[in-house]
Structure 1
């Protein structure tokens, strides 16, 4: 009898805990699914084509770095209740806040160009012209956000982003050679500027300014409390591992197929990647599976990047900003989001060759890392309550990891451009 009572009590407690866990989960998973955006997918694909498996190990090295960065945004949001831009403004002044907002704006524009280029590329795989696919995508993004609460937007973003799991099937269908994968991943031509440039692009594809702004603002908007910290960290950790596994899957698929038969190929668009993979996967399956993955990546990243800028700009200027507010109550917030979506779609529609900027956008993100990580660490040292500030060995670990990551990203980007 006592055993039955204990079992019933345990089951009841677990039943109450599960909804609570699910309620906290979301911001980390959403931002990580967005992290594997169209530009990141093309960067990973190009890495596999040009260098085989030589950039594969980097994808896994970046997992703890990504977690370390985004965990700070969770900690800042939970213990201050404020978004990233607002916290910079209140801690360091409006001038520094505007510098961060300008950097966010540049990164957001670059991201949106790659996302809408990817969406348009998927449409073209099925004969759908851009003047049809881009407006459909833009209207969908506007409807999802303007007609929903934060929780609904989060659920839609996760559902759309999970289409990226299709890349695991692509990697499996490519039948990679495991021994070649192992040997290639530990062979690193660190003196080659072209290799360093793509390494910088992969680093920039992992830590982006709009990710920092989005997750901190989303956690604050969701009103997570200190007792949610552990679950929020798991949310971030699972997302960090998932996004890098997806990047690795794209790299492996391209290395095992195109990289083996045509290592000199240049993949600058979704169409080129899909067409190059179809001889190995079949035309119908290749287009469908790869198209679903890219569509999921592009749409969820467009939502996250646009919301990040709308939140970030509002935190610097002071206008009302929350997905829990009606559009008439926060017209600037929703207006900025809508403007981002419309401008991104319009620019890609007018200048369709912008897909060639995909890798370059990721390198630009790498060059901005010192500013992004510098602000984040400074806030974690100064703005958090004393008990939760970075200190001791973990502070120095974060500083050293951030410094090395920034140095590799900046040096690789400048080296590949012939500036060092």
Structure 2
């Protein structure tokens, strides 16, 4: 049954029953926002959150509350642009910036995503080796190949179902709390009244968390998946062409994004909390990778916590790699005017799938190369810091202009929060460069 038929049927039902059915339908249609939020907690993000908890204890929990409305607003705006216009971010940004600027931004996004894919694959292989005791590079290659095959040969409308179910693996990080003792009164206190020292290390960590939480590849992915969802439904059209669908679709986008970003930050909250009450409490404050965090948990929190953490690394990597590779392919394809979309067969969108394959293969090469994955992730953060600000600014301009959005421009609240997020990310990028320069002196 199409979305139009569902909406028509719900309208004829008694108010109470119709309301319940509409809520059920909304839950069924959770997708781009939920998957985007879950992909934000990739192995690289897990490493950052683990380091925050290990180094600063519960005094970093407040960042998850602080970033939630900001990331929700910016992701909602990216989804809104895709659903209203029927085009992804690269095509829409091309209306604001000259073509050469878009090309540079997309190239930097591709580089950052490729390095991130390599770091995530390395973390997944390391986690598998921790559990099984062998085969780090073998598992790294296997995870990459499986991810690539799924993207190449399974249509989007089927593939997205697997991604939805895969988000459940993140509950492993909620399950860990049952293996450790937690003073919930202290958790509430430190979340809303943290002890902040404003040292260089703490500010750098805040910058890292903001950069990990609000990342460019998430903008491109959610906007493009809204387009994929619209094109997969014969009854749906871009809202500029079919404004009668606006109320339902924009309401769905709002709740999908709120839930997806809430899910993302909730899991990140528990990762920080788990490492705070275990590693930080026991004096283990030096964590560089997600695998380091899992291994450090073993003697402190026990085998159960270690296994859950390790399984979570592999699961989140399998979820994040398609998002990283796919967002790069959407951006490159749109900027070049290629046919794009995961619903197409590989031979129907050769350029699009070539980008996915190249990004994944280069990610494997990063794992097999002598490149230090920690330094690689640092430079990924630098690149993301550089490109996030102009991309977010362009998004805000597009979302605020009736010429592009018609009557569906972003709401006042979204615009205020979106520009606030842009300013904060810009400040974080400047701070990152300052601390990097001072550290190199």
Q: Same fold (TM over 0.5)?
A: yes
1:246 matches 2:275: no
TM-score (structure 2 length as normaliser): 0.86
2-side partners of 1:266 and 1:86: how far apart? 43
1:130 matches 2:136: yes
2-side partners of 1:391 and 1:352: how far apart? 44
Q: Contact 1:85–1:213 at 8 Å: present in 2 too?
A: yes
| DSSP-derived class of the 1:418 partner | helix
Report what 1:220 is aligned to.
227
Deviation at 1:243, TM superposition (A): 0.4
Equivalent of 2:217, from 191, 210, 219?
Answer: 210
Q: Contact 2:77–2:395 at 8 Å: present in 1 too?
A: yes
1:153 matches 2:174: no
Deviation at 1:180, TM superposition (A): 3.7
Report what 2:42 is aligned to.
37
CA RMSD of aligned residues (A): 2.6
1-side partners of 2:20 and 2:421: how far apart? 39
Deviation at 1:260, TM superposition (A): 0.8
1:373 matches 2:392: yes
1-side partners of 2:40 and 2:436: how far apart? 23
Q: Which residues of 2 match residues 279-318 of structure 1 at below 5 A?
A: 279-283=299-303, 285-318=304-337
Greater shift after overlay, 384-393 or 299-308?
384-393
Structure 1 residues 360, 278: closer, same or farther in 2, change over 3 A?
Answer: farther
Equivalent of 1:53, from 48, 55, 58?
Answer: 58
Report what 1:387 is aligned to.
407
Deviation at 1:161, TM superposition (A): 2.7
Structure 1 residues 255, 396: closer, same or farther in 2, change over 3 A?
Answer: closer
Equivalent of 1:235, from 213, 235, 256?
Answer: 256
Q: Contact 2:291–2:310 at 8 Å: present in 1 too?
A: no
Report what 1:79 is aligned to.
84
Deviation at 1:411, TM superposition (A): 1.5
1-side partners of 2:421 and 2:80: how far apart? 18
Structure 1 residues 412, 53: closer, same or farther in 2, change over 3 A?
Answer: farther
Structure 1 residues 394, 66: closer, same or farther in 2, change over 3 A?
Answer: closer
Q: Contact 1:197–1:412 at 8 Å: present in 2 too?
A: yes
Greater shift after overlay, 99-108 or 10-19?
10-19
Deviation at 1:66, TM superposition (A): 0.7
Report what 2:106 is aligned to.
101
Q: Contact 2:50–2:272 at 8 Å: present in 1 too?
A: yes
Q: Contact 2:83–2:226 at 8 Å: present in 1 too?
A: yes
The number of residue pairs the alignment matches comes to 413
TM-score (structure 1 length as normaliser): 0.90
Deviation at 1:99, TM superposition (A): 2.5
Greater shift after overlay, 50-59 or 14-23?
14-23
2-side partners of 1:152 and 1:68: how far apart? 28
Deviation at 1:26, TM superposition (A): 0.4
Structure 1 residues 103, 358: closer, same or farther in 2, change over 3 A?
Answer: closer
1-side partners of 2:86 and 2:180: how far apart? 46
Structure 2: gaps spanning 5 or more residues: 1-10, 231-235, 240-245
User: CA-to-partner distance for each residue in 1:49-102, whole Å, 9 max, x for gaps?
Assistant: 111111110111111101000000111011111011111123433122213202
2-side partners of 1:370 and 1:275: how far apart? 36
Q: Contact 1:306–1:340 at 8 Å: present in 2 too?
A: yes
| DSSP-derived class of the 1:168 partner | helix
Q: Which residues of 2 match residues 281-360 of structure 1 at below 5 A?
A: 281-283=301-303, 285-351=304-370, 353-355=372-374, 357-358=376-377
Greater shift after overlay, 27-36 or 104-113?
104-113
Structure 1: gaps spanning 5 or more residues: 1-5
1:177 matches 2:198: no
User: CA-to-partner distance for each residue in 1:233-254, whole Å, 9 max, x for gaps?
Assistant: 1111101111001111010111
Deviation at 1:418, TM superposition (A): 2.0
Q: Contact 2:94–2:335 at 8 Å: present in 1 too?
A: yes
1:187 matches 2:206: no
Structure 1 residues 210, 38: closer, same or farther in 2, change over 3 A?
Answer: same
